[in-house]
Amino acid sequence: MLLGVIPAVIIIKAQIAHVTFKRFLVITLASLLFMLTVAFANSPNWLWVDKNSKVLGGLAMPWSYTVNLSLFFVHKQQENEKEILLPDATIKDDQKSIVVLVIGESARSENFSLYGYSKNTNPLLSKTPGVFHFNATSCATYTTAGVKCILEAKNTGELYEILPNYLYRNGVEVVWRTTNWGEPPVHIKNYLNKEALMKDCKGDRCDYDEVLLNNLKEQIAASTKNKILIILHTSTSHGPEYSKKYPPQFETFKPVCNSVELAKCSNTELVNAYDNTIGYTDYILYNVIEDLKQLKEYKSAMIFVSDHGESLGEKNLYMHGLPLSLAPKQQYDIPFIVWTSDNSLKQLKTENSLSQDYVFHSVLNFLGIQSPVYNEELNIFK
Ligand SMILES: [Zn+2]
């Protein structure tokens, strides 16, 4: 009555003053200008707004009811969306083999010393024999699209069966471990999110992405299958609080930015915090490789690909998510790092830039899976 009906009655009763078109234009432009001034005066808060946009959008009236009501039904329908199944695959041999696919979060190749960065952000991988890195670009600048591209046979607008679902359906042991979100629906038995992983993990390190490695070797060793695909979906380099994404021991580059308002930090502090997340990623990937080395009866590979890159204040841009056509290269130049236990990498032309599409076909090749959708041109292995 007080906030709805009475104001509505007042509005119905109100006299409408008809103004000239010129006056209407002046008022509209002045209002717009006023709103823009307020928005720009508060520009340091944009990142906060962006980070919390979903929650804010859900609260803002009357948007909340008008838009989210229809969104609710759209999402309901998407939940029931059936993925298009790929033609059946066959396992060609019974050689024991494993691929660990590590999906990076907001990792840009520019800040990896493997890619020529001046700070030593890859102290462990750079000393590990058999580690190769390729220039690569992501298909998008945000997580859901980037992860989908990494997992599908080709980049389409459709929802085709993704790599873990496809291999699981065709007899491969598939494990998904995640501290992140945003992947297409995964239909496998061993899907472990952060809560599930935390349950069996002890110590301070469990709060960070190392939790993804907890009992991993044991889980692999317990498998009765010859072909295994492990997917680790990390979240280490996601902003804006980079400094909270690695254990204190990994604060190699100091001082760091501890604010969520990135524009309030100096660029050095911001880049230091981000570089520490890359150093921590280096440590995680190194440990994946060490684990695989100990599983001697398997032929194994580790592939690290990021979902997209990240802006760290270049051109006054932060984080990611700009449309690909406008985005600076920092948002789509991604690391593509590979290690194999048996030197099975193909001789690739170094000037070639890889895409995320290479993952699907390379994993099929490495695990010895025959499939009508396999594309040899998108395979990095012999
Ligand atoms: Zn992402």
pLDDT tens for each residue of the chain, 382 residues long = 998 999 999 999 999 888 899 999 999 999 999 999 998 888 777 877 877 777 787 788 777 888 888 888 888 887 667 889 999 999 999 999 999 999 999 999 999 999 999 999 999 999 999 999 999 999 999 999 999 999 999 988 888 999 999 999 999 999 999 999 999 999 999 999 999 999 989 998 899 999 999 999 999 999 999 999 999 999 999 988 999 999 999 999 999 988 877 777 899 999 999 999 999 999 999 999 999 999 999 999 999 999 999 999 888 888 898 888 889 999 999 999 999 999 888 887 766 789 999 999 999 999 999 999 999 999 999 8
Q: Is 245 exposed, middle or buried (0-12, 13-18, 19+ CB in 10 A)?
A: buried
Tokens representing residue 294 in the block: 């100990």
Residue 105 Cα to ligand 1 middle (Å): 5
- Residue 278 Cα to ligand 1 midpoint, Å, equals 14
Ligand 1 center to residue 137 CA distance, Å?
14
Spacing, Cα 181 to ligand 1 middle (Å): 9
Q: What is the pLDDT at residue 351?
A: 67
Token pair recorded at residue 133: 């890195």
pTM of the model: 0.84
Task: Name the residue among 87, 172, 190, 176 with its Cα closest to residue 364.
Answer: 172
Instruction: Report how far apart, in Å, the C-alpha atoms of 364 and of each of 187, 261, 300, 373 are.
Output: 18, 43, 13, 10
Residue with tokens 């040899």: 376
* Bridge partner list, 336: 134, 305
- The count of residues in the chain is 382
161 secondary structure, DSSP code:
P
Angle between helices 143-151 and 358-367 (to 10 degrees): 40
Distance 50 CA to ligand 1 centre (A): 14
CA 35–ligand 1 middle distance (angstroms): 31
Which residues fall within 8 angstroms of residue 284, CB to CB, at 6 or more apart? Answer: 102, 209, 210, 212, 213, 234, 236
Tell me how far the alpha carbon of residue 322 lies from the centroid of ligand 1, in angstroms.
12
Q: What is the SS3 assignment for 190? A: strand
Integer angstrom CA distances of residue 191 from 84, 104, 200:
21, 18, 14
Neighbours of 357 (CB within 10 A): 18
CA 309 to CA 304: how far, in whole Å?
13
Centre of ligand 1 from the C-alpha of residue 42, in Å = 26
Using the mean position of ligand 1's atoms as its centre, give its distance from the Cα of residue 30 in Å: 39
d(CA 348, ligand 1 centre) in Å: 27
Q: How many angstroms does the Cα of residue 292 sit away from the middle of ligand 1?
A: 26
Tokens at 264, concatenated: 């309030």
Q: Compute the distance from residue 103 Cα to the ligand 1 centre, in Å.
A: 9
The answer to whether 97 touches 368, Cβ cutoff 8 Å, is yes
C-alpha 85/C-alpha 90 separation (Å) is 15
Taking the centre of ligand 1 as the mean of its atom positions, its distance from the CA of residue 185, in whole angstroms, is 16
Please report the domains of the chain, with CATH numbers, ordered by start residue.
53-82 (no CATH), 90-378 (3.40.720.10)
